[in-house]
Structures are given as structure tokens and as C-alpha cells.
């Protein structure tokens, strides 16, 4: 059976002091969890988060990386810098970066490859806008993202990607896809992975749901057959709320 992976995405929230305060409370609340727990924090909080979670069952990730190892790229943080400080996960292709930073699938693909080349697991976000859903092209959009973002990855690498299905209309809106709807898309994504990489990869790959996940809806979502956990935004900012999501069963 696949493990459940619950990841938090703090987005542009919390400073290092708030980060230490968060983990002081959070680590005790989730210490007995059998689920994999990841917190993707802002770069400015990474050092505090790594220090606060050393020796615990909590992993620290980032929300982005630059695919170049070094260079004249003002303001960016490279895949090698993250590897050097022991980062194991990074979000790649979040819809907010695609939308506000014009990140294309070709660019996302470079980040996927750079992550693997530096022993970092990418949490790849895919998902449709409300307009695309209503136009009946949600699956077309997601398939395009998957084909282009996975381009050139080996089966071994593909198996280790964490896919986060995040319908854009459900992010930060309080509107959650129904558990059945979310599961149907996650199941369909798994079928497409099977077509691209075969049954073994499809069976093992982790597919999360993201978009207004909260303590009150986590159980019904995570109990579904093809939803292997969640990528949680707003509800991951408070230790008690996020702990309830992690401890959903
Ligand atoms: P919310 O949980 O705040 O809707 O955000 C979801 C998300 O974008 C996680 O990456």
C-alpha cells in the first residue's frame, strides 16, 4: 500500500521567529504519525526550520529552486545550494509561480531534472482553472503539463515524483473539490502515468490533492483510493490545525 504524504506550503508567510514557535508546538503533536510530513517553507525560514526539526519525523522543503547550479541570477536560490544544506523536497510548478512568474512547462521541466540531479524530490503541482474546467478541457490541460513537465525523466525518477493535483479554483477559495471529483482526477492522472511509464511506476507514484484542505475535510479526501495525501496551504500555518490534518486517521 502507498504511504500518505502530507505537505504544507507556507507560501509567503511566517518569519524565522514564527517558524521556531510553530515547530515548538507542532513537532510534539505529530511525533507518533505514520504519515510522511513535509513543510515547504520560505527560503528565509529554512535554517530555523531545519534546526527546529533536526532528529524529528518532519522533513523540510522549499517552494521553488533555480535549475542552474550558480551564476548571475539575482535573487534566485540554486538546486545545489539547497542540496548543500540538506533539503530533500521542493515544490515545482505551483500555479502561483506559473501565473505570477510566467513559469512555462519547459522551465518546470528543467527544475524537475535539476532537482533529481541534486537528490531533491520535486512536488510537482498540476491543475486546471475554473474556465478550463467549465470548457471541458481540464484533463487536456493536466495531461499537457504532465507530458511536458516529466519530459526526459527516467522511470526511476518518475516513480519518486510527488504529484499534487491542485485545481486552481480550489486554492485559497474555501471551495474544495468533492472527494469523489478529486479522486477521479487523481485516478485518471495515475492512468496517464501508467501509459507513460508502466504499471509499476503508476502504482507507486504519490498523488496528492491540494486546494482548501482543512482538518474538517482531510479524512474524506485522504481515505479515497487514489489520493495519497495533500498539499496544504492556509491550514498548514497553524500548528494545531495542520497537526489535525496530519493525524487524520
Ligand atoms: P490552500 O490550502 O490555502 O487552498 O492552498 C493550496 C495550495 O496552493 C497548496 O500549494
Asked whether residue 148 carries a pLDDT value surpassing 90, the answer given is yes
Q: Among 11, 169, 221, name the best residue to mutate to test ligand 1's pocket (greatest count of ligand atoms within 8 A of Cβ).
A: 11
**How far, in Å, from the CA of 172 to the mean position of ligand 1?**
6
| pLDDT score recorded for residue 135 | 95
pLDDT of residue 175: 84
* 170 Cα nearest atom in ligand 1: 4
Whether this model's pTM surpasses 0.85 = yes
Return the active site residues: 94, 166
pLDDT of residue 92: 98
What is the predicted pLDDT for the residue at 180? 96
pLDDT value for 141: 97
Question: Taking all residues of the chain, what is their mean pLDDT, rounded to a whole number?
Answer: 97
Backbone angles phi, psi at 90, to 5 degrees: -145, 145
pLDDT at position 177: 84
- 247: which DSSP letter? T
Contact 235, 211 (CB under 8 A): no
Residue 106's SS3 state is: helix
What pLDDT score does 230 carry? 98
pLDDT at 60: 98
* Predicted pLDDT of residue 35: 96
Residue-wise pLDDT tens digits, 130-143:
999 999 999 999 99
The residue count of the chain comes to 249
Q: How many CA atoms lie within 13 A of 111 on its CB side?
A: 29
Mean pLDDT of the 186-215 span: 98
Q: State the helix-helix crossing angle for 16-29 and 46-53, rounded to 10 degrees.
A: 30
* Contact in structure between 32 and 58 (CB atoms under 8 Å): no
Q: What is the mean pLDDT of residues 32-59?
A: 98
pLDDT tens digits, 102-122: 999 999 999 999 999 999 999
Distance CA 227, CA 225 (A): 6
Domain covering 5-246 in this structure, CATH number = 3.20.20.70
- Of ligand 1's listed atoms, the one at least distance from the Cα of 212 is 4
Confidence of residue 59 (pLDDT cuts 50, 70, 90): very high
Judge whether residue 207 has pLDDT over 90. Answer: yes
pLDDT in tens, 151-182: 999 999 999 999 999 999 998 888 888 999 99
Residue 125, CA distances (Å) to 67, 92, 164, 177 in order: 17, 6, 5, 16
Query: How much of the chain, in percent, has pLDDT values that exceed 90?
Result: 96
Which of 93, 126, 128, 166 best tests ligand 1's pocket when mutated (most atoms within 8 Å of CB)?
166
Confidence of residue 69 (pLDDT cuts 50, 70, 90): very high
Amino acid at each position: 500500500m502507498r504511504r500518505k504524504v502530507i505537505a504544507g506550503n507556507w507560501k509567503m508567510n511566517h518569519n524565522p521567529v514564527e517558524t521556531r514557535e510553530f515547530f515548538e508546538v507542532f513537532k510534539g503533536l505529530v511525533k507518533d504519525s505514520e504519515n510522511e510530513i513535509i513543510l515547504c517553507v520560505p527560503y528565509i525560514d529554512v535554517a530555523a526550520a531545519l534546526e527546529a526539526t533536526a532528529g524529528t519525523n518532519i522533513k523540510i522543503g522549499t517552494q521553488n529552486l533555480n535549475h542552474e547550479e550558480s551564476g548571475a541570477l539575482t535573487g534566485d536560490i540554486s538546486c545545489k545550494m539547497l542540496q548543500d544544506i540538506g533539503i530533500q523536497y521542493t515544490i515545482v510548478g505551483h500555479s502561483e509561480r506559473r501565473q505570477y512568474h510566467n513559469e512555462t512547462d519547459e522551465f518546470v521541466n528543467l527544475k524537475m531534472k535539476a532537482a533529481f540531479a541534486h537528490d531533491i524530490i520535486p512536488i510537482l503541482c498540476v491543475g486546471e482553472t475554473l474556465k478550463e474546467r467549465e470548457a471541458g478541457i481540464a484533463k487536456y490541460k493536466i495531461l499537457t503539463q504532465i507530458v511536458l513537465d516529466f519530459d526526459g525523466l527516467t522511470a526511476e525518477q518518475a516513480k519518486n515524483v510527488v504529484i499534487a493535483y491542485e485545481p486552481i479554483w480550489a486554492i485559497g477559495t474555501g471551495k474544495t473539490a468533492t472527494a469523489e471529483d478529486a479522486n477521479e482526477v487523481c485516478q485518471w492522472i495515475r492512468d496517464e502515468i501508467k501509459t507513460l511509464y508502466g504499471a509499476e511506476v503508476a502504482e507507486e507514484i504519490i498523488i496528492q490533492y491540494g486546494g482548501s484542505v482543512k482538518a474538517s475535510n482531510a479524512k474524506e479526501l485522504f481515505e479515497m483510493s487514489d489520493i495519497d495525501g495533500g498539499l496544504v496551504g492556509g491550514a498548514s500555518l497553524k500548528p494545531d490545525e495542520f497537526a489535525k490534518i496530519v493525524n487524520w486517521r
